[in-house]
Structure 1
Amino acid sequence: MTARGLRWWSWIHRWSSLICTIFALLLCLTGLPLIFHEELGPNPAIDEVAGPGGRASVDRMIAEALAGRPGEVVPYLFYDRDKPILKIPTAASMTSAPDTFFYKVFDIRTGKALAADQPNEGFLYIMLRLHADLFAGTKGMLFLGGMGLLLTLSIVSGMVLYGPFARRLRFGEIRKRHSNRLRWLDLHNLLGIITLAWFGIVTLTGVINTLAAPIELMWQSNQLLEMAAQNRGKAPDDRKAPVDLVLANVRAAVPGMTVMTLAFPGTPFSTPTHYAAFLTGDTPLTSRILKPAIIDAASGEVVAVRDMPWYATALFVSQPLHFGDYGGLPLKIIWALLDIVTIIILISGLYLWLAKSRAGGARLDLVETASAKAAR
């Protein structure tokens, strides 16, 4: 590569890194406890629920959840992936923001209410909101997505620049006899190239996750309306079929799959005259991919069942990969160690830039040193 090309890549790496580093550091710091969200947020009442059993009436659980919340409605049902529990949120309206929900948790085998903490409160919830959208909703998610793209550019440019740099040193060599800045430079480059693949994957899956809101809108405006249109000829009916009947019909229509979420009529994930059920399979891969079913609200009959479009599937698959929560505690520990190494990389990058600025623009960094070599 020519000296001019190296200077160009140097400029890209420096400024893409500087713009996104503070936000990348925030995401790494908030993401670290989220890796262990199950271990850090144990709930004794829920943890004790285990084992097979029957199914109590969901309609009865809904009635109990609403009994203490006058004037509110139930917009969704949320089943736990690993335990026989059902989370029933109540809200002021079907379109209320999820952070306003009040949750009641039940043992689905007995219908007994459990004393559980609210999932939209506490330390982990604050970490999740900072990590996901900076408490700024969709705008915050898209902003972090833009920072993720800049971080991807920084990773790619760093990889390009590492080649000329690595030709002058043995792999893993730290120049201990030189200045502190050169030692940090060598460490920064070494840790960066070691974590390159992991950091790139986590960054790209994070960018995909920030597109959740646009992906949801695309699905709602296309596939959801197409599925509901299959019984558009029926007149609207104020009657609502019992939820137990709706769930029984869905399970019969899609055998071998498990209902994870039921959206009630009038929510953003259903229509005014339809329930929407979201089911998963029982394999490591299919358990992360949702299959939607649309149910007529008045009769409880299943209208349509389809696979999610490819862009929604990409979102569902990227979410567990981003936090490393598909391989149990050992993989979570590896993810955490790599996250800590990434924090060191980001802090060392800031130090190198500040040290260079204090030195009055001395040409000692990785790219400019390589440029000088190439120009000789």
Structure 2
Amino acid sequence: MTPLTVRRWAWIHKWSSLVCTIFMLLLCLTGLPLIFHHQIDELLGNEIVAPEMAPGTPKANLDAVIAAGLALYPGMVMQYMSQEADNDRIWHLTIGKDRLDPGFKSIAVDARTARVIQENKFEGTFMNVMLRLHADLYAGLYGMLFLGFMGVLLLVALVSGTVLYAPFMRKLDFGTVRRGRASRLKWLDLHNLLGIVTLAWALVVGATGVINTWADLLLKYWQNDQLAEMIAPYRQLPPPATLGPLQPGVDASLQLEPGMQVGFIAWPGTAFSSPHHYGVFMHGKEPLTARLYKPVLVDAVTGKVTDSRDLPWYLTGLLISQPLHFGDYGGVWMQVWWALFDIATIVVLGSGLYLWLKRPGGAGRQRQGDAAVAAGAP
């Protein structure tokens, strides 16, 4: 690699790193507690627990579950209901003043007794603040897209830093940290060592993070594409005056997909259905298939299935990337590894910022600057 090529890559690495570093530090710091969100919620007493009952206790009728939740807020309407893949004892109901009300209420109802367990409180909690800062900086879609752009810059910095790592290591053994020299040189070695060790993890988390920031756009595209095709026969019909019961539609969905279970249900008029349908979203029972949904549209009056199809590749990629981003696939040990890599990345980002702020000047700038260029440090 010629000196001119090295300088070009160094310029790319320096400025892509400098622009995104502060935001990447924020994402790493807020992402750390999110890796252990289940454990933290349990520690803080925010984990919802259903009463213990004999195994095989039959489930309550879904319409009775819905009635129990709506009884807390007369005059409100259902928006969604969902259950976790590994906990079918609790239904989480989302209700609002209308189908699209952003000021919704969330209520946990026992799936076996149709009794309210508690009203969920998310706004203002520690984990909710961490999630909002990590997902969109409290700026909605614009915040998500901005963080996505910062993620792209991170990927550019990772690639350019990898290119620059080879000429730097040509005269050094792997893992060398020159502690007896200047403090800046020691941090330069540490920056490069931790950077190359965490490279694969940072690429995976950075790429999946970028994909996650496109979630709203991908969903809107799906709604205007495949969902529009699925509801086309109803397009010219007026919305039904009253809705039929939900249970027959869910039973029909389970008969259509006997190897799957219900993940969440969208009411007519919400973003995941049409004015004429319940959107019943099914998923598998294995660790991977539990993340992948299959929409089943059920006529909200007759309870009959009208259409069902697999999600397109772009939504499948989105759903796979979300748990991979937070290390949710492999249990607690994968969470621990994710946390260790996260902390190491914080050191990489912090040391890169330190190297920039402490960059040499005067007569020594060129000599020490050449070392920084070869290493790819900002």
Task: Report % sequence identity.
Answer: 47
**Cα distance between partner residues in 1 of 2:128 and 2:360:** 38
**Cα distance between partner residues in 2 of 1:232 and 1:361:** 73
Contact 1:78 1:260 in 2 (8 A): yes
What's the counterpart of residue 9 of structure 2? 9
**Cα distance between partner residues in 2 of 1:245 and 1:193:** 55
Instruction: Extract unaligned runs of 5+ from structure 1.
Output: 372-376
Summarize the Cα distance change of 1:31–1:93 in structure 2 as closer, same or farther, 3 Å threshold. Answer: same
Give the deviation of 1:52 after TM superposition: 3.8
**Cα distance between partner residues in 2 of 1:47 and 1:109:** 10
Summarize the Cα distance change of 1:52–1:13 in structure 2 as closer, same or farther, 3 Å threshold. Answer: farther
Give the deviation of 1:49 after TM superposition: 5.1
Q: State whether structure 2 residue 212 is matched by structure 1 residue 209.
A: yes
Give the deviation of 1:365 after TM superposition: 4.6
User: Among residues 270, 273, 291, which one is paired with 2:276 in the alignment?
Assistant: 273
The two structures have a TM-score, normalised by structure 2, of: 0.93
**Cα distance between partner residues in 1 of 2:8 and 2:57:** 64
**1:167-178 equivalences in 2 (<5 Å):** 167-178=170-181
**1:1-376 equivalences in 2 (<5 Å):** 1-42=1-42, 43=46, 45-46=48-49, 51-83=55-87, 84-97=89-102, 100-115=103-118, 117-230=120-233, 236-356=239-359, 362-363=365-366, 364-365=368-369, 368=372, 370=374
Secondary structure, aligned partner of 2:141: helix
**Cα distance between partner residues in 2 of 1:9 and 1:95:** 48
**Cα distance between partner residues in 1 of 2:249 and 2:155:** 45
What do you get for the CA RMSD once the two structures are aligned?
1.9
Give the deviation of 1:120 after TM superposition: 3.9
Q: What amino acid is the match of 1:307? A: D
Give the deviation of 1:351 after TM superposition: 0.2
**Cα distance between partner residues in 2 of 1:360 and 1:137:** 48
Task: Output one character per residue of 1:281-322: Cα deviation in whole Å (capped at 9) or x when no partner.
Answer: 011221111101111111111111100000000000000100
Instruction: Extract unaligned runs of 5+ from structure 2.
Output: none
Task: Output one character per residue of 1:80-113: Cα deviation in whole Å (capped at 9) or x when no partner.
Answer: 221121001111221122xx22111011111121
Summarize the Cα distance change of 1:348–1:47 in structure 2 as closer, same or farther, 3 Å threshold. Answer: farther
Q: What amino acid is the match of 1:86? A: W
Give the deviation of 1:45 after TM superposition: 4.6
Q: After the TM superposition, which segments of 4 or more aligned residues of structure 1 sit over 4 Å from their partners?
A: 47-51, 230-236, 357-361, 365-369
Give the deviation of 1:353 after TM superposition: 0.2
**Cα distance between partner residues in 1 of 2:137 and 2:274:** 30
Give the deviation of 1:30 after TM superposition: 0.2
Secondary structure, aligned partner of 1:55: coil
Q: What amino acid is the match of 1:182? A: L
